Amino acid sequence: MANRRVRVTVPIPKSSGNTSPASNTSSTTSTTSPTPPSSPFLPTPLETVLVAIYPGTLVLGSLFSILNSTTRNTPYSATTQSHPAALAPSYFARKSNVFNQYFVKLGWFWTTLAFVLFLFSHSSLGPPRQPTAPTPRRLRAAARYVLVTTWWLLITQWCFGPPIIDRGFRFTGGQCELVYADTARAEAGRAAMSDARQLLTNAACKAVGGTWKGGYDISGHVFLLILGSGMLWMEMLPAVIRAEGLREERRVRLRDGAVRSAAAVAVETDDRAAAAGNVPVPPARDLGLGGKVALAVTALSWWMLLMTAAYFHTWFEKFTGLIVAFAGLYVVYFLPRAFPPLRDVLGMPGV
């Protein structure tokens, strides 16, 4: 009998739907969003974009002043840090324009107004039915405002005498130059100049008809516009994130050294408040009146920052105004994330 070959077919079981570890890893990697920065010292991606708007605006305005033929060919006075009013290449290039006179020169008033409205009207800072209740979040927000305002005062108004801007101007060789029409008064003015150079601030020099010249001057407009609008943005940003359903990516360092999400810390804070019998802070649904006013102030601040960059000050004057403003914002809004004792006093917006 001839040998018969028999073919045996072994059935292969159908896949149960499980994937290999490699494919699992690949799937997880492809669907997981980027990990938030591990260091509490670093801004989140959204904060990085927000912060980058300021130097980007200064660069944009400065490039416009170079590339625009009308602005480039208009005389510029280093003493007044502006174009002559009669030859100004734009309405916004005149110091007398209405936005400069009633918004920028009163900038901290508008910043304060927007902050106070947000502080007492937004539900993320306390019960909406008790807008003036001194909740912990409102008290810490007020402490942040006081600290930022103190920085503004020291730089532009008073620092145990002349403000830091004026001290820096005099330190770099600046002085108040008194100009008189007749020779006798000019001689008397020169004799008293040694005292005047040391005692007069920029405002006092202008008040007596002098000219502040010869030194290096930080751009006060750039400093003010960035500091004020930056503070409002940092206070509003957590509310915007919650209202839009975005993920909280700020990181904070706890007392035991662990780094956690600010959202987890906020939940624990609300749970402790509820356990103590206090009403937890409700989630914010929108920006409310205070937030809308703050947005309007920040929008106008951005526009005036662009106009300042295009028509006033030198590159270095604008750059130092930016750095000094950022220094104040960093101390108030970033350092508390890494230092729990400082966070106990200043808190964090939204936490």
Same domain, 127 and 233: yes
Name which of 58, 51, 108 is nearest 230 in CA terms: 51
Q: Which amino acid is at 88?
A: A
Same domain, 167 and 180: no
Same domain, 236 and 193: no
Q: Is the pLDDT of residue 25 over 50?
A: no
Name which of 317, 315, 312 is nearest 215 in CA terms: 317
Residues 304, 219 contacting (CB under 8 angstroms): no
195 assigned to some structural domain: yes
Q: Is the pLDDT of residue 90 over 50?
A: yes
DSSP state of 214: S
Residues 219, 313 contacting (CB under 8 angstroms): yes
48 assigned to some structural domain: no
Confidence of residue 36 (pLDDT cuts 50, 70, 90): very low
Same domain, 198 and 340: no
Neighbouring C-beta atoms of residue 341, cutoff 10 Å? 8
Which helix (H) or strand (E) segment holds residue 175: the answer is: strand 175-177
- Interacting residues of 144 by C-beta distance below 8 A, sequence separation 6+: 231, 235, 332, 333, 346, 347, 349
User: What's the pLDDT tens digit per position in 228-245?
Assistant: 999 999 999 988 888 777
DSSP state of 213: E
Confidence of residue 140 (pLDDT cuts 50, 70, 90): very high
Name which of 70, 100, 75 is nearest 85 in CA terms: 75
DSSP state of 273: H
Q: Which amino acid is at 89?
A: P
Same domain, 340 and 192: no
Q: Torsion angle, CA of 315/320/322/327, rounded to 10 degrees? A: 160
Number of domains in the chain: 2
323 assigned to some structural domain: yes
What 3-state class would DSSP assign to 123?
helix
Q: Which token pair is 158?
A: 């008073």
Same domain, 179 and 235: no
268 assigned to some structural domain: no
16 assigned to some structural domain: no
Name which of 286, 282, 262 is nearest 274 in CA terms: 282
Q: Which amino acid is at 196?
A: A
Q: Pick from 158, 193, 213: which residue ends a domain? A: 213
Same domain, 125 and 180: no
The DSSP annotation for 235-264 comes to HHHHHHHHHTTPPP--EEE-TTS-EEEHHH
**Residue numbers annotated as active site:** 221, 313
271 assigned to some structural domain: no
Residues 338, 344 contacting (CB under 8 angstroms): no
Residues 177, 206 contacting (CB under 8 angstroms): no
2 assigned to some structural domain: no
* Residue 288, domain extent: 58-74+81-173+217-247+282-346
Q: What is the pTM of this model?
A: 0.81
On average, the pLDDT of the chain sits at 81
Same domain, 134 and 233: yes
Same domain, 228 and 205: no
- Which of 36 and 49 is assigned the larger pLDDT? 49
Same domain, 114 and 235: yes
Name which of 217, 111, 102 is nearest 164 in CA terms: 217
Across the chain, how many H-helices and E-strands are there?
16, 4
Same domain, 204 and 317: no
**Which stretches does DSSP call E strand in the chain?**
175-177, 211-213, 251-253, 259-261
Same domain, 125 and 201: no
Q: Is the pLDDT of residue 46 over 70?
A: yes
46 assigned to some structural domain: no
User: What's the pLDDT tens digit per position in 202-226?
Assistant: 777 777 777 777 788 899 999 999 9
Q: Pick from 154, 187, 213: which residue ends a domain? A: 213
